[in-house]
C-alpha cells in the first residue's frame, strides 16, 4: 500500500513541482494547484465506507529503524475526520485563492507553501509514531511562519511571523520532549502501542512531566490562554491563510493531539481538570475580547480562540457526551468560521477595508455574499436548523451532565456562547445591513469564486443541520468509542421542549440583544488598549525585549571582533577552570623542581627560553620581538630532539621558519614602535598570561605524575610494522591509523588558505578601485 | 633587498631543497619525515627563492598558481582513501600494498602522504604569496 505514502508526501512533491513549472507558466494555469487538495479529498473519501464499518488502516514504512523512527501511519475515525477537514477546506481555500491572489506577483510561492502546509498537516493527523508526528508538527509551524510573513515587506507581518514561530516552536520542543519521554517510559514510539502501558500516563513519577510537555505543545499550537496572542498576529497573513491555517486546520492540531492522547490519560483526572480550566479561561477571555475589536479579522481571531477554548473545555469534561460535542463542534466551527473568513476576504477584496465601523449596506451589491454570511452567522449563533444548533445543544447537554459543577460549567458555556452569537453576527451580518458608509467605494462586479466558496461552506452547515445523522455516521459513531470506549450520543436536530432548548433560546436572545446594543468603536478598542500592558502578549514581548537586550549585550561583550579580547576571554576562562582545580588539589611535593636532575643542555635551553621571553616582552622593536619568539620556537626543537622526537622537531623547525617569514611579511610595513598600550593594560595582560602559564605548568606536572594509560600507545607501537608495514610509528599513525584525522585536517587547512586568499584578494580589489 | 649572493644561493638551493623535501616525504614511512614536513620544506624553498629574486620570478618557475595544488592534493588523498573501497571492497583507508621490481613495496599510504605534501605546499605558498602581495 505505497499509495498511502504517496498521499502523505505528494503535497511536498507538488510544492517542488510548482517551482519547476515556473512563475510565468503557473500564472496562466493557477487552477492546477486546486487539483492537489481535490484529488486528496477524493482519496481520503474512499476510506469513509470501510472506516464507517469500524475498520482501522495501518501503514508502515521503514525510515530510521535503528532509532525507532518509522513512517507509521494509522487512519482511523479521528484521523479521517481531520484528513477530510484538511483536504475539504483545503480544496475550497485553494480554489478561492486562485481568484483572491490572482494578481499577486508571488502567487506561485503562496501555493507552494500552502501545499507544503497541507502535506505536513496530513502527516500530523495520520502519523502513528510520535517522532514522525513531531516532524510533521514542526513542518506545519514552519509553513505557518512563511505564510504569516507572506507579505514580507511589511514589518508587522515579519514580527507576527516570528512571534508565531517562537510560540509554536516552543510547543514543538516540548512535543519532542514528550515523545522521547513517553517513548522511553513505555518502550515504544508507536502511539497506539503506548495504550498498552497506560500506567505511565496515570500514576508514574514522570506523569506530571508528560502532562506539562503535552499541554505546552497543544496549548501553544491551539492558541490557548496565555499563549493565544500569536494567533491575533497571525491574522497579518492573507485571508485564505487565516481561513485555512489559523482557523480551520492548523490550530486544531493541538486539539487533535489532546484528543488523540485522551484515551492514554483516561484514568488521570488531573489531565481533564487542567483542560477544563484552561479551556474555560481561554473561551471567556477570548469571548470578552471580541467586543473590543473593530477589524473583522480581529473579531474572527478572538472568536476562533474562543471556539478552540470551547473544544478544549469540552475535552476537559471528559464524558462521552462532551467528546461527541467536541467532535461536532470541530466540524461546525470549521464550516462556519472558514465561511466567515472567506466572506471577510471577499469584503476586503470588494471594498478595500475590513473595518467594521466603516462597513454597512453591502446587501444589495453583494447579495450572494450576504446570503452566505447570514447562513454562517446563524450556524455560529446556533440557530435551528443549522449544524451550529446541534452543536450548541450538545455543549449544553455535556455541561449539564458534566461531573464537577453542572451549574457553573453551564453558566460559563452560556456566557461564551452569547459572545459567539455576537461575533458571528458582527462579521456575517453587520457589513450587509444598515447604511452604506460614504468613504467606502465598492466594486460591484464580484468574481464568482469569491462568493461561491463561502456559499458552499454555509450551505453545508445548513445541510448537516437538517441531516445531523450524516455527521454521526461519518464521525462521532467511530470517534467517540475510539476515545472514550462508550457509545456516541445520537445527533438529532429536535430534542423537544426541555432545559437545553431553553438554554439555547436564552443564548440566542442575549446574543442578539448584545449585537443590537453594542457597536464596536475605536473608542472602546482604545479603552481596552490602556490595560494592554497586563495582557500575556505584552508580558511576552517585554520578556523577549529583555532577552534581546541581554543577548545583544553578551554578544557585544564576547564577540567584539578583537582577536586579543577573544584570546583574553579564553585564557581567563581556562585559568579559572584549571586554577580552581589546582588550588583545591595541590600536592606541593609533586611540584618541587629537582634542580640536580637537570642536565647541562636542558639548563642551557631553559636559560635561552627565559631570556628570549624577556627580550620579546621588553624590546621596543617589532622585528626584535619576532626574533625573540622564533628563538623560543627553535629552542623547543632542541628539547624535542633531546627527548627523542625527531619528527616533532623537524615539523616544529619548518613551521617556525614559516611563521617567522609570515610575521616579517605582515609586520615589515607597520610602524617601528610597539609602545601602544599603556602600562595598566600591559600589567593586566601580564597577570593573566602569567597565571595561565603557571596553572598550565602545574597541570602538566600533575599529568606527568599520573600513570599513563598505554593501551593505544602499545597498540600503535606493536602494530605499526605488522599491519601498516612502517617503522616510523608517528608517520604511520598520521597516514594510516588516524589517516582520517589527517584527511580532515588538510581539508580544514585548505579552507583556511582559501579564506586568507579570499579576504586579502577581495580587500585588495575593492581598494584598488 | 637585492643581493647577488643571496639570489645565486637561493637559485641553487631551490632544486636541492625540493629534492630534499621529496626525500623526506619518501622516507617518512620508516624514518623521521613524511608529507607534512616535506611539504613545509618545499614551501620554504620557494619562499626563500621569492625573497631573493622577487615574487614574479618565483611564480614564473611555478607556472601554476600554488592554489591549484590544494585541490590536486586533496583529490589524491581522497582517492587513495577511497581506493580500497572501490577496488577490493575493503573499508575506507585500508592499506593496499603493491610489490614492484623497481621500487620495492609501495603502499597506498604513500599516495595519501603525497596528497598531504601537495596540500601543504599549496596552502603555505597561497597564504604567504597572498600576504606578501598585499603587504
**Statement: residue A575 has pLDDT above 80:** yes
Tell me the three-class secondary structure of A519-561, residue by residue.
Answer: CCCHHHHHHHHCCHHHCHHHHHHHHHHHHHHHHHHHHHHHCCC
Looking at chain A, which residue has its C-alpha nearest residue B40?
A654
Residue identified by cell 557585544 is: A556
User: Which residue from A724, A725, A742 is facing B116, i.e. has the nearest CB?
Assistant: A742
Residue B104 dihedral angles phi and psi, to the nearest 5°: 85, -155
Query: What is the distance between the alpha carbons of residues A3 and A42, in angstroms, rounded to a whole number?
Result: 13
**Statement: residue A550 has pLDDT above 90:** yes
Query: What is the distance between the alpha carbons of residues A11 and A40, in angstroms, rounded to a whole number?
Result: 9
pTM confidence score: 0.72
Provide the grid cell at A151: 507579505
Structure confidence at residue B73 (pLDDT): 92
Residue A381's pLDDT band (cuts 50, 70, 90):
confident
Tell me the mean pLDDT in the region A661-673.
75
**Statement: residue A183 has pLDDT above 60:** yes
Looking at chain B, which residue has its C-alpha nearest residue A650?
B37
Q: What is the pLDDT of residues A629-649, one digit of tens each?
A: 999 999 999 989 888 888 888
Looking at chain A, which residue has its C-alpha nearest residue B26?
A731
**Statement: residue A523 has pLDDT above 80:** no
Tell me the mean pLDDT in the region A562-569.
86
Domain layout of chain A by residue ranges:
1-264, 590-706
Domain layout of chain B by residue ranges:
4-134
Residue A174's pLDDT band (cuts 50, 70, 90):
very high
Residue A77's pLDDT band (cuts 50, 70, 90):
confident
Query: What architecture is the A590-706 domain classified under in CATH?
Result: Up-down Bundle (1.20)
* For chain A, percent of residues with pLDDT exceeding 70: 96
The reply to whether omega before A226 is within 30° of 0 (cis) is yes
Contacts of A542 (CB under 8 A, 6+ apart): none
CB contact (8 A) between residue B44 and residue A735:
no
Q: Of residues A706 and A614, which shows the higher confidence score?
A: A614
Classify burial at A680, counting beta carbons within 10 Å of its beta carbon; exposed 0-12, middle 13-18, buried 19 or more: exposed
Is A466 within 8 Å of A351 (Cβ atoms)?
no
CB contact (8 A) between residue A723 and residue B95:
yes
Query: What is the distance between the alpha carbons of residues B126 and A753, in angstroms, rounded to a whole number?
Result: 7
Q: What is the pLDDT of residues A330-344, one digit of tens each?
A: 999 999 999 999 999
Q: What is the pLDDT of residues A213-241, one digit of tens each?
A: 999 999 999 988 888 888 888 888 888 88
Residue A201's pLDDT band (cuts 50, 70, 90):
confident
**Statement: residue A267 has pLDDT above 70:** yes
CB contact (8 A) between residue A757 and residue B30:
no
**Cα-based angle A15, A16, A21 (whole degrees, multiple of 5):** 100
Alpha-carbon distance B1 to nearest alpha carbon in chain A (angstroms): 13
Q: Which of residues 28-87 of B touch A (CB under 8 A)?
A: 28-37, 40-41, 43-44, 47, 67, 70-71, 73-74, 77-78, 81
CB contact (8 A) between residue B130 and residue A658:
no
Residue A535's pLDDT band (cuts 50, 70, 90):
confident
Structure confidence at residue A594 (pLDDT): 63
CB pairs under 8 A between A and B: 141
**Statement: residue A717 has pLDDT above 70:** yes
Helical pair A499-517 and A406-428, crossing angle rounded to 10 deg: 40
**Statement: residue A211 has pLDDT above 60:** yes
CB contact (8 A) between residue A734 and residue B36:
yes
Element (H, E) at A368: helix A367-381
Residue B84's pLDDT band (cuts 50, 70, 90):
confident
For residue A592, the tally of other CB atoms under 10 A from its CB is 8
Query: What is the distance between the alpha carbons of residues A295 and A538, in angstroms, rounded to a whole number?
Result: 20
Q: What is the pLDDT of residues A359-380, one digit of tens each?
A: 878 888 888 888 888 888 888 8
Residue A673 dihedral angles phi and psi, to the nearest 5°: -90, 135
**Statement: residue A674 has pLDDT above 60:** no
Alpha-carbon distance B80 to nearest alpha carbon in chain A (angstroms): 11
Task: Indicate the SS3 state at residue A211.
Answer: helix
Beta bridge partners of B98: B106
CB contact (8 A) between residue A661 and residue B47:
yes
Per-position b or e across A459-495, b if 16+ CB within 10 A of its CB: bbbbebbeebeebbebbbbbbbbbbbeeebbebebee
Residue A544's pLDDT band (cuts 50, 70, 90):
confident
CB contact (8 A) between residue B67 and residue A655:
no
Structure confidence at residue A589 (pLDDT): 63
DSSP A184: H
What DSSP string runs through A556-588?
Answer: HHH--S-HHHHHHHHHHHHHHHHHHHHHHH--H
Helical pair A296-317 and A406-428, crossing angle rounded to 10 deg: 160
Task: Indicate the SS3 state at residue A472.
Answer: helix
CB contacts, 8 Å: B33 with chain A: 647, 650, 728, 731
Per-position b or e across A325-363, b if 16+ CB within 10 A of its CB: bbbbbbbbbbbbbbbbbbbbbbbbebbebbbbebbbebb
Is A423 within 8 Å of A514 (Cβ atoms)?
no
Provide the grid cell at A480: 467517540
Structure confidence at residue B122 (pLDDT): 93
CB contacts, 8 Å: B119 with chain A: 746, 749-750
CB contact (8 A) between residue A658 and residue B92:
no
Alpha-carbon distance A674 to nearest alpha carbon in chain B (angstroms): 19
CB contact (8 A) between residue A753 and residue B126:
yes
B117 touching chain A per CB within 8 A: no
Q: Flag the least confident range among A426-430, B11-15, B84-88.
A: B84-88
Query: What is the distance between the alpha carbons of residues A645 and A652, in angstroms, rounded to a whole number?
Result: 11
Tell me the mean pLDDT in the region A387-405.
83
CB contact (8 A) between residue A750 and residue B123:
yes
Could you give the residue ranges of the DSSP H alpha helices within A477-531? Answer: 477-484, 499-517, 522-529
For residue A98, the tally of other CB atoms under 10 A from its CB is 20
Residue B22's pLDDT band (cuts 50, 70, 90):
very high
Query: What is the distance between the alpha carbons of residues A75 and A5, in angstroms, rounded to a whole number?
Result: 12
Structure confidence at residue A212 (pLDDT): 92
Looking at chain B, which residue has its C-alpha nearest residue A745?
B116
CB contacts, 8 Å: A762 with chain B: none
Q: What is the pLDDT of residues A423-471, one digit of tens each?
A: 888 888 888 887 777 777 777 788 888 888 889 989 988 888 888 888 8
Alpha-carbon distance A675 to nearest alpha carbon in chain B (angstroms): 22
**Statement: residue B121 has pLDDT above 90:** yes
Provide the grid cell at A549: 537586550
Is A691 within 8 Å of A580 (Cβ atoms)?
no
Is A515 within 8 Å of A421 (Cβ atoms)?
yes
What DSSP string runs through A317-341?
Answer: H-SHHHHHHHHHHHHHHHHHHHHHH
Structure confidence at residue A671 (pLDDT): 67
Tell me what the pLDDT averaged over chain A comes to.
Answer: 85
Structure confidence at residue A581 (pLDDT): 81
Q: Flag the least confident range among A488-497, A552-561, A707-716.
A: A488-497
CB contact (8 A) between residue B97 and residue A739:
no
CB contacts, 8 Å: B40 with chain A: 651, 654-655, 657-658
Q: Flag the least confident range among A1-5, A352-356, A476-480, A578-582.
A: A1-5
B128 touching chain A per CB within 8 A: yes
Predicted ipTM of the assembly: 0.89
Q: Which of residues 623-652 of A touch B (CB under 8 A)?
A: 646-647, 650-651
Tell me the mean pLDDT in the region B75-83.
88
Residue A695's pLDDT band (cuts 50, 70, 90):
confident
* For chain B, percent of residues with pLDDT exceeding 90: 29
Tell me the mean pLDDT in the region A6-32.
86
- Please provide the distance, in angstroms rounded to a whole number, between the alpha carbons at the two ends of chain B: 15
* Backbone angle region of B132, left / alpha / beta, with phi > 0 → left and psi within -120 to 50 → alpha: alpha
Q: Flag the least confident range among A121-135, A475-489, A744-758, B39-53.
A: A475-489
- Please provide the distance, in angstroms rounded to a whole number, between the alpha carbons at the two ends of chain A: 65
Q: Which of residues 700-759 of A touch B (CB under 8 A)?
A: 723-728, 730-732, 734-736, 739-740, 742-743, 746-747, 749-750, 752-754, 756-757
Provide the grid cell at A128: 502513528
A368 touching chain B per CB within 8 A: no
What DSSP string runs through B65-121?
Answer: -GGGHHHHHHHHHHHHHHHIIIII-PPTT---EEEETTTEEEEHHHHHHHHHHHHHH
Q: Are strands A57-64 and B104-107 parallel, antiparallel or unpaired?
A: unpaired
Provide the grid cell at B20: 630534499
Alpha-carbon distance A649 to nearest alpha carbon in chain B (angstroms): 10
Amino acid at each position: 500500500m505505497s499509495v498511502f505514502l504517496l498521499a502523505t508526501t505528494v503535497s511536498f512533491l507538488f510544492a517542488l513541482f510548482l517551482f519547476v513549472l515556473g512563475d510565468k507558466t503557473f500564472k496562466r494555469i493557477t487552477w492546477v494547484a486546486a487539483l492537489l487538495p481535490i484529488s486528496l479529498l477524493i482519496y481520503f473519501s474512499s476510506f469513509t465506507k470501510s472506516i464507517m464499518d469500524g475498520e482501522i488502516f495501518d501503514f508502515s514504512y521503514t525510515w530510521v529503524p535503528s532509532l525507532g523512527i518509522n513512517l507509521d501511519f494509522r487512519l482511523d475515525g479521528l484521523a479521517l475526520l481531520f484528513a477530510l477537514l484538511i483536504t475539504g477546506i483545503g480544496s475550497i481555500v485553494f480554489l478561492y485563492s486562485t481568484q483572491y491572489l490572482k494578481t499577486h506577483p508571488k502567487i506561485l510561492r503562496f501555493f507552494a507553501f500552502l501545499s507544503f502546509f497541507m502535506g505536513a498537516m496530513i502527516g500530523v493527523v495520520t502519523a502513528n509514531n510520535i517522532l514522525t508526528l513531531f516532524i510533521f508538527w514542526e513542518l506545519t509551524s514552519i509553513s505557518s511562519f512563511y505564510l504569516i510573513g507572506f507579505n514580507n515587506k511589511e514589518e508587522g507581518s515579519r514580527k507576527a511571523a516570528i512571534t508565531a514561530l517562537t510560540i509554536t516552536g516552543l510547543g514543538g520542543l516540548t512535543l519532542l520532549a514528550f515523545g522521547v519521554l513517553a517513548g522511553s517510559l513505555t518502550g515504544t514510539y508507536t502511539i497506539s502501542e503506548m495504550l498498552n502501558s497506560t500506567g505511565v500516563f496515570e500514576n508514574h513519577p514522570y506523569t506530571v512531566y508528560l502532562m506539562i510537555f503535552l499541554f505546552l505543545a497543544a496549548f501553544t499550537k491551539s492558541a490557548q490562554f496565555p499563549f493565544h496572542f500569536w494567533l491575533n498576529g497571525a491574522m497579518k497573513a492573507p485571508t485564505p491563510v487565516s481561513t485555512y491555517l489559523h482557523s480551520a486546520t492548523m490550530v486544531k492540531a493541538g486539539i487533535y493531539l489532546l484528543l488523540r492522547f485522551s484515551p492514554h490519560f483516561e484514568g488521570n483526572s488531573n489531565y481533564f481538570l487542567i483542560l477544563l480550566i484552561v479551556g474555560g479561561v481561554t473561551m471567556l477571555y477570548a469571548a470578552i475580547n471580541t467586543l473590543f475589536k473593530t477589524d473583522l479579522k480581529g473579531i474572527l481571531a478572538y472568536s476562533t480562540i474562543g471556539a478552540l477554548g470551547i473544544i478544549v473545555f469540552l475535552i476537559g469534561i471528559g464524558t462521552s457526551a462532551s467528546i461527541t460535542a467536541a467532535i461536532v463542534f470541530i466540524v461546525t466551527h470549521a464550516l462556519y468560521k472558514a465561511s466567515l473568513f472567506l466572506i471577510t476576504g471577499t469584503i476586503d477584496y470588494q471594498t478595500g477595508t475590513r473595518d467594521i465601523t466603516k462597513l454597512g449596506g453591502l446587501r444589495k451589491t453583494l447579495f450572494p455574499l450576504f446570503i452566505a454570511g447570514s447562513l454562517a452567522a446563524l450556524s455560529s449563533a446556533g440557530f435551528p436548523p443549522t449544524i451550529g444548533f446541534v452543536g450548541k445543544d450538545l455543549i449544553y447537554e455535556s455541561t449539564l451532565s458534566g461531573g464537577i459543577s453542572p451549574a457553573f460549567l453551564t453558566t460559563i458555556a452560556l456566557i461564551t456562547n452569547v459572545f459567539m452569537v455576537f461575533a458571528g453576527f458582527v462579521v456575517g451580518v453587520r457589513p450587509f445591513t444598515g447604511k452604506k458608509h460614504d468613504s467606502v467605494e465598492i466594486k460591484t462586479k464580484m468574481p464568482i469564486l469569491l462568493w461561491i466558496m463561502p456559499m458552499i461552506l454555509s450551505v453545508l452547515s445548513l445541510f448537516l443541520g437538517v441531516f445531523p445523522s450524516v455527521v454521526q455516521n461519518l464521525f462521532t459513531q467511530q470517534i467517540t468509542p475510539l476515545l472514550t470506549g462508550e457509545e456516541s450520543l445520537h445527533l438529532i436536530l429536535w430534542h423537544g421542549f426541555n432545559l437545553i432548548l431553553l438554554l439555547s433560546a436564552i443564548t440566542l436572545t442575549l446574543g442578539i440583544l448584545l449585537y443590537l446594543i453594542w457597536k464596536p468603536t475605536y473608542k472602546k478598542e482604545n479603552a481596552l488598549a490602556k490595560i494592554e500592558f497586563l495582557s500575556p502578549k505584552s508580558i511576552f514581548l517585554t520578556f523577549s525585549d529583555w532577552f534581546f537586550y541581554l543577548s545583544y549585550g553578551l554578544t557585544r561583550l564576547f564577540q567584539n571582533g578583537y582577536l586579543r579580547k577573544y584570546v583574553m576571554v579564553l585564557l581567563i576562562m581556562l585559568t579559572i577552570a584549571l586554577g580552581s582545580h589546582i588550588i583545591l588539589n595541590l600536592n606541593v611535593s609533586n611540584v618541587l623542581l629537582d634542580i640536580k636532575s637537570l642536565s647541562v643542555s636542558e639548563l642551557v635551553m631553559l636559560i635561552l627560553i627565559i631570556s628570549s621571553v624577556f627580550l620579546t616582552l621588553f624590546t621596543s622593536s617589532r622585528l626584535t620581538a619576532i626574533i625573540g619568539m622564533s628563538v623560543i620556537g627553535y629552542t623547543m626543537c632542541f628539547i624535542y630532539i633531546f627527548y627523542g622526537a625527531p619528527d616533532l622537531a623537524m615539523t616544529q623547525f619548518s613551521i617556525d621558519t614559516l611563521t617567522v617569514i609570515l610575521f616579517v611579511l605582515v609586520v615589515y610595513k607597520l610602524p617601528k614602535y610597539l609602545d601602544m598600550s599603556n602600562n595598566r593594560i600591559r600589567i593586566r595582560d601580564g597577570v593573566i598570561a602569567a597565571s595561565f602559564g603557571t596553572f598550565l605548568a602545574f597541570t602538566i606536572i600533575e599529568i606527568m605524575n599520573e600513570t599513563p594509560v598505554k593501551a593505544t600507545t602499545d597498540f600503535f607501537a606493536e602494530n605499526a610494522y605488522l599491519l601498516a608495514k612502517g617503522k616510523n610509528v608517528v608517520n604511520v599513525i598520521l597516514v594510516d591509523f588516524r589517516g582520517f584525522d589527517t584527511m580532515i585536517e588538510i581539508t580544514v587547512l585548505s579552507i583556511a588558505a582559501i579564506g586568507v586568499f579570499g579576504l586579502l584578494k577581495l580587500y585588495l580589489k575593492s581598494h584598488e578601485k | 633587498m637585492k643581493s647577488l649572493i643571496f639570489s645565486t644561493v637561493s637559485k641553487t638551493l631551490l632544486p636541492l631543497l625540493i629534492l630534499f623535501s621529496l626525500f623526506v616525504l619518501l622516507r617518512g614511512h620508516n624514518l623521521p619525515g613524511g608529507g607534512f614536513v616535506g611539504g613545509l620544506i618545499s614551501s620554504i624553498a620557494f619562499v626563500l627563492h621569492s625573497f631573493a629574486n622577487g615574487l614574479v620570478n618565483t611564480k614564473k618557475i611555478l607556472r601554476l598558481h600554488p592554489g591549484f595544488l590544494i585541490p590536486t592534493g586533496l583529490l589524491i588523498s581522497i582517492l587513495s582513501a577511497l581506493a580500497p573501497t572501490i577496488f577490493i571492497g575493503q573499508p575506507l583507508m585500508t592499506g593496499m600494498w603493491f610489490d614492484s621490481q623497481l621500487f620495492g613495496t609501495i603502499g597506498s599510504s604513500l599516495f595519501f602522504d603525497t596528497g598531504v605534501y601537495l596540500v601543504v605546499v599549496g596552502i603555505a605558498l597561497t597564504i604567504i604569496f597572498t600576504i606578501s602581495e598585499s603587504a
